[in-house]
Structure 1
Amino acid sequence: MFHLAIKDMRFSKVKYGLIALILFLIASLVLIVSGLARGLSDDNISMLAESEATEFYVSTDSENQLDQSGFLIEDLVNDVPTEEGWQPLITHPVRFVHEGKADEKLAATMIPVDRDAKLYPGVTGGEDLTNDASLNIIVDQTMKADGVSLQDTLYDEATDLTFTVVGFTEGQTYRHTPVVYVSETVFYAEEISPNQVANTVVIFEGNDTLKASIDSILEEGEWVDKSAVIDAVPGHSSEQMSLNMMIFFLIVISVFVLAAFFYIITIQKLKQFGILKAIGAKNRFLIGSTLMQVVILSVFSLGISVLFTYSMTFILPEGMPFHFNLGTISMYSGLMFLVSILGALLSSRRIVKVDPQQAMGGAE
């Protein structure tokens, strides 16, 4: 079976090479679009996705959107210590001027944190944040694409404050803007936003007693899980739905394209299949030989397309929201492999229906 498949492919190199090329192009397109979908998703909600928070307390009329939610937390801070497992989360939009370049505004989301709290993600380079009143910030590494480096200064016109970048973090973006972490001490002391006002309150474990205490103090809110808050981020669901729809149609198209290719090849080899049947070859053997060819072509083409997609991470501009996720790539590669098998099976009926006597009579 294997030898027959290999000999046939060697004899018709151009024909099978074109099939491999078509499969490579379709698979590469699917994998690249999936990488863009994952990159856009991370660029929109990675701060929430990477957070250790499990549940969020949001305003009942906010539709789970953090920017539409808000609470005065002064009483909560006084009555329920944050050490019990909760933290206020404030997402404050800012526009920075990078070291005096007034014509270049850098949009970001500022989040005040306690360095010792779970909301603080830590640094991947530079110095850690401190809880003192120094105007230091930790920024997401995506700001490197805008030319931001350690010890650079970022000026906020709205507050007339100049911050110094002392460290970089990773995977911290929100609504397609990098997240900037500043100490709570500075945020409240400089009155960057109204004191003791938070978009939401988060907890890190399903503590029903703590949830009841927070609910009784804040009121007019409800507890929702992380996935509900992520789905409510403006643009997130629509972006992913559009890109996933593109991937779905690409896969459906690939089924018909591959089925058409293998059907034509099967039609061209009906006489050979009939002769092989006449000398004793079984349908199972002939179908297995065809599927073996599909497996070889699919593994080769998909392997090359995975390598090509990975190479795109080095070719695309640094600011491009493209994420090569091995789990996602493996899932779509496996799906494309199954689609290739399905396309070949659709033409197997012709092999079963081949009449050896007619094939012998038609052979020269």
Structure 2
Amino acid sequence: MFSLSLKEIRFYKMRYLLIGFILFFVASLVFIISGLAGGLSSDNASSIQNMDVHAFYLDKGAEGRIDRSRIDVSSNTFSPGIEPLNLQMRSLEKEGTDQTVDITVMAVQPDGFLMPNVTDGESFKSGDASVTADITLQKEGIEIGDRLYDEQFDKVFTVAGFTEQQTFSHTPAVFMNIDLWNDLVPENQKNKVNALVMVEDNQKLREIVKSEVEGGNWVSKDEVIGGIPGYQAEQSSLYMMLAFLIVIAVFVLAAFFFIMTIQKMNEFGVLKAIGAKNGFLIGSTLFQVLILSLVSIGTSVGFTALLPNLLPEDIPFVFDINLILKFSGVLLIVSLAGALVSAANIVKADPLTAMGRAQ
């Protein structure tokens, strides 16, 4: 079986090469769209995605949207494993210039589990108005030591360092001391936070927070991510495109192999006349499809892995090998399923008719 399949591929090189190219392009398009979906997801929600936490306590009326949640925590003592988080989108002006940058302020405890690792410079300090920003601000010309002016608070913040993969709603996150935030906000906003965050699942802590802070409920991290403005719309649109691509791949590959088997009806009939069984011929065809699929999909995985080096820096793209392997498996199954459609033609091949044609 294997020998016959390989000999036929070598003999009809151009035919199989064209089918391989089609599968390569379809697979590459699937992988590229999945990478763009992952890139947009990260650019929209990486600050929440990268928090190593379990759940968020939000205002019931916020419907899972952390940016709309406001909780009064004046009566809460913040048990170990629970930390407050304040979050607000703002525009800051680089001091000495007319440049304005849109950012999301995240006010956290300096040494808490919500504070990300600093990759360049240092973390903000407790006693001054320093902040730690996502490194994407460097693309807008912001460097360590630069001063950012907040017109609403009439306050200047100094960039002390940078962190990575900390964005919210497509804006870089800027981390500051939550005590500094409370000093800046109006009196009626003091002791109010967007969320209380639990680092590990603990039913006792859940009940303590609910008893001390009324009007809220616990939601999962995935629900908070889904509540970020625009997140669901972006991801739903891209994954709908992926679904249609896979469906199209089924029909395209099924049509190609169906036409190919029709063209080989005479050959199948002759092989049956000399003793070949339907199972052998179907297995040989599936083996050809398996070889083509593995080579084409494997090549497209390699191409997609190199693609981030070719794309402009402002296009978010994430090469998630686990997701790519899942889609590779789906495409492989789709290819084999499409080839099985042609099995009916193989069964219909008539040895007597084929021998008559051969004469």
Name the TM-score class by shorter chain.
over 0.9
Q: Does 1:39 align with 2:39?
A: yes
**Residue number among 91, 94, 101 corresponding to 1:98 in the alignment:** 94
The aligned residue for residue 19 of structure 1 is 19
The aligned residue for residue 89 of structure 1 is 85
Contact 2:46 / 2:168 at 8 angstroms: preserved in 1?
A: yes
Paired AA for residue 160 in structure 2:
V
**Residue number among 159, 169, 177 corresponding to 1:175 in the alignment:** 169
CA distance in 2, matches of 1:157, 1:316: 36
Percent identity (aligned) = 45
Q: Does 1:280 align with 2:284?
A: no
Q: What whole-Å deviation, never above 9, does each CA across 1:186-239 have from its counterpart, x for those lacking one?
A: 323344893222011112223333322322232111222222222222221222
Paired AA for residue 224 in structure 2:
V
TM-score by length of 1: 0.93
The aligned residue for residue 53 of structure 1 is 53
Paired AA for residue 97 in structure 1:
E
CA distance in 2, matches of 1:146, 1:304: 36
**Residue number among 175, 181, 188 corresponding to 2:182 in the alignment:** 188
The aligned residue for residue 337 of structure 1 is 332
Contact 1:127 / 1:167 at 8 angstroms: preserved in 2?
A: yes
The aligned residue for residue 311 of structure 2 is 316
Q: What whole-Å deviation, never above 9, does each CA across 1:69-115 have from its counterpart, x for those lacking one?
A: 10222221xxx2x352211111121212235441x422111111222
Q: Does 1:139 align with 2:151?
A: no
Paired AA for residue 293 in structure 1:
Q
CA distance in 2, matches of 1:99, 1:347: 69
Deviates more, 1:175-184 or 1:143-152: 143-152
Q: What whole-Å deviation, never above 9, does each CA across 1:255-290 have from its counterpart, x for those lacking one?
A: 000000111111111111111111111222211211
Q: What whole-Å deviation, never above 9, does each CA across 1:25-52 have from its counterpart, x for those lacking one?
A: 1111111111111111112222222212
Paired AA for residue 42 in structure 2:
D
**Alpha-carbon shift at residue 18 of structure 1 (Å):** 0.9
The aligned residue for residue 71 of structure 1 is 71
CA distance in 1, matches of 2:268, 2:202: 68
Q: Does 1:256 align with 2:241?
A: no
Contact 1:251 / 1:336 at 8 angstroms: preserved in 2?
A: yes
Paired AA for residue 272 in structure 1:
E
CA distance in 2, matches of 1:147, 1:351: 65
CA distance in 2, matches of 1:314, 1:361: 58
Paired AA for residue 146 in structure 2:
D
Q: Does 1:155 align with 2:149?
A: yes
Paired AA for residue 31 in structure 1:
F
Contact 1:31 / 1:306 at 8 angstroms: preserved in 2?
A: yes
CA distance in 2, matches of 1:241, 1:139: 30
CA distance in 1, matches of 2:12, 2:96: 65
Q: What whole-Å deviation, never above 9, does each CA across 1:112-162 have from its counterpart, x for those lacking one?
A: 1222111111112222333x2222221122223323333333332322333
Q: Structure 1 unaligned runs (5+)?
A: none
CA distance in 1, matches of 2:84, 2:268: 72
TM-score by length of 2: 0.94
Q: What whole-Å deviation, never above 9, does each CA across 1:286-311 have from its counterpart, x for those lacking one?
A: 11211121111111111111111112
Paired AA for residue 182 in structure 1:
M
The number of aligned residues is 358
CA distance in 2, matches of 1:144, 1:283: 64
Give the alignment of 1:208-247 within 5 angstroms.
208-247=203-242
Paired AA for residue 279 in structure 1:
I
Indicate how the Cα distance of structure 1 residues 361 and 205 shifts in structure 2: closer, same or farther if over 3 A, else same.
same
The aligned residue for residue 203 of structure 1 is 198
Q: Structure 2 unaligned runs (5+)?
A: none
**Alpha-carbon shift at residue 314 of structure 1 (Å):** 1.0
- Secondary structure at the residue paired with 2:287? helix
CA distance in 2, matches of 1:301, 1:155: 53
The aligned residue for residue 112 of structure 1 is 107
Paired AA for residue 11 in structure 1:
F
Contact 1:159 / 1:192 at 8 angstroms: preserved in 2?
A: no
CA distance in 2, matches of 1:278, 1:303: 37
Q: Does 1:298 align with 2:298?
A: no
Paired AA for residue 149 in structure 2:
Y
- Secondary structure at the residue paired with 1:319? coil
CA distance in 1, matches of 2:95, 2:297: 47
Contact 2:83 / 2:109 at 8 angstroms: preserved in 1?
A: no
RMSD after superposition: 1.8
Paired AA for residue 172 in structure 1:
Q
Indicate how the Cα distance of structure 1 residues 145 and 4 shifts in structure 2: closer, same or farther if over 3 A, else same.
farther
Paired AA for residue 127 in structure 1:
E
